[in-house]
Amino acid sequence: MAPLKQVVSSEGLFDMLREAMKELPVIAPAERKDQPGFHHFARLQQAEDFVPDYVTTTLPPKKAFFQPSETLFTFTTDQPPALELVSDTEHFVLAGVHPCDLAGLDALDLAYSQPPAEVRWPADRGLATVVGIDCMPDDYCFCSSVGTCLTRQGCDLFLTKVDRGYLAEVYTPAGDTMLAKVRTWEPTEADIRDAEQWRERKVERMTAHLEADPAEIADLLEAGGLAHLWKETAERCYSCGSCNTTCPACFCFDMHDEFDLSLKTGIRRRTWDSCQLLEFALVAGRHNFRQEREQRVRHRWHRKFLYLYRRLGRAYCTGCGRCSRACTADINLVDVTNALIAHARKAADHA
């Protein structure tokens, strides 16, 4: 069913956040005080801190639900041990989420619901009212290549810039309640056209593209014969893990226990992990099943575009470009993927 549409003015958008902040914490993109010009999802202290036209954030909004490092529970070393869950039950608003990041949250919903299902993620997701907003790409964005340009999945309200403010699409009662706190207008044909033109301009301005769709990339990876490409990429890669830790669709984590000095109590922590780090595949007996850097680089592409594509029916890449922006070695995911597409197609032609 088509969502209800209303127009809200630019000031009205800030008023809406102001109203929400009277009742709930609001997490939204704001300029970093320590790095002017860069943005991050942070709890707003005042509605004016919200930056509606930001390009990207260094870390994706998944951190609002799953922090880079967090305590799951406390325990005692008694027999039997006493466990106490550490969980946040506060509702909040997550505002200013771009379509690619809505797709990232949706990807994690799917991944964490696979048996054995992760219990904390859906509980934390249920605490948030999510307000999406449309964006314009920079040179790293390629959402039109992976089908996430128009994602509205999982949002309660979605905003697109139009001439007289924002066209708001209402998807849930929670979104309706937020919008009902401010003055809105019925959209005119001109408002609807403005929003369509925004989406057209967004696709036209996208300069980065994958040269094949996710289904073909999966087939090409499966066909193999790309060892030289993994080797070349690995020769440049520092195994720093920044590509994974900035990715909205990566969901691996590590867990460890920390004891107090008495060894009578402790906490269990979980921390975002990266398959590009040497220790990721280190197991008992100091055996490492991806000891070589090229094995880890190969794994990254296979995981994103083949294994999870086959298992869950979607590429685990939303086209946000964060991994390429963050890469300390300037390894660009689009360039490497297009190189593998070109090579694999050539090899297939000569077979």
Question: Does the footprint of ligand SF4 cover residue 331 (CB under 6 A)?
Answer: yes
DSSP secondary structure code for residue 14 in this structure: H
The residue among 87 and 239 lying less far from ligand SF4, judged by its C-beta, is: 239
**Span interacting with ligand SF4, options 10-18, 80-88, 201-209, 329-337, rule CB under 6 A:** 329-337
Q: Locate the DSSP E strands across 234-341.
A: 253-259, 265-272, 282-283, 287-288
The residue among 57 and 184 lying less far from ligand SF4, judged by its C-beta, is: 57
151: nearest Cα among 209, 208, 109: 109
Distance between CA atoms of 302 and 310, rounded to whole angstroms? 10
Where do runs of H (alpha helix) occur along 171-211?
A: 173-179, 189-205
> Quick one: tokens of 5?
């549409």
Question: Does the footprint of ligand SF4 cover residue 149 (CB under 6 A)?
Answer: no
Question: Does the footprint of ligand SF4 cover residue 312 (CB under 6 A)?
Answer: no
Binding to ligand SF4 by CB under 6 A, coded x per residue (else -) over 206-245, reads -------------------------------xxxxxxx--
CB of residue 246 to ligand SF4, shortest distance in Å: 6
How many residues would you count in the chain? 351
Distance between CA atoms of 231 and 268, rounded to whole angstroms? 37
CB of residue 100 to ligand SF4, shortest distance in Å: 7
Helix (H, G, I), strand (E, B) or coil at 20: helix
The residue among 96 and 319 lying less far from ligand SF4, judged by its C-beta, is: 319
DSSP secondary structure code for residue 89 in this structure: -
CB contact at 8 A, 94 and 41 = yes
The residue among 179 and 247 lying less far from ligand SF4, judged by its C-beta, is: 247
CB of residue 137 to ligand SF4, shortest distance in Å: 12
> How many residues contact ligand SF4, by CB under 6 A?
26
CB contact at 8 A, 178 and 157 = yes
**Span interacting with ligand SF4, options 152-160, 185-193, 258-266, 316-324, rule CB under 6 A:** 316-324
CB of residue 313 to ligand SF4, shortest distance in Å: 16
Binding positions for ligand SF4, 245-264, rule CB under 6 A: 246-249
Distance between CA atoms of 290 and 295, rounded to whole angstroms? 6
CB of residue 329 to ligand SF4, shortest distance in Å: 4
Residue from 26, 128, 319, 344 touching ligand SF4 (CB under 6 A): that is: 319
Distance between CA atoms of 20 and 179, rounded to whole angstroms? 10
Distance between CA atoms of 145 and 333, rounded to whole angstroms? 12
The residue among 217 and 237 lying less far from ligand SF4, judged by its C-beta, is: 237
CB of residue 88 to ligand SF4, shortest distance in Å: 25
CB of residue 276 to ligand SF4, shortest distance in Å: 4
> Quick one: tokens of 52?
């509606």
The DSSP bridge partners found for residue 71 are 269
CB contact at 8 A, 275 and 290 = yes
CB of residue 262 to ligand SF4, shortest distance in Å: 39
Residue from 322, 332, 337, 338 touching ligand SF4 (CB under 6 A): that is: 322
The residue among 3 and 147 lying less far from ligand SF4, judged by its C-beta, is: 147
> Quick one: tokens of 236?
């440049």
Residue from 276, 332, 337, 338 touching ligand SF4 (CB under 6 A): that is: 276
For 337, what's the count of Cα atoms within 13 Å in the CB-facing half-sphere? 29
* Interacting residues toward ligand SF4 by CB under 6 A: 237-243, 246-249, 276, 304, 317-323, 326-329, 331, 333
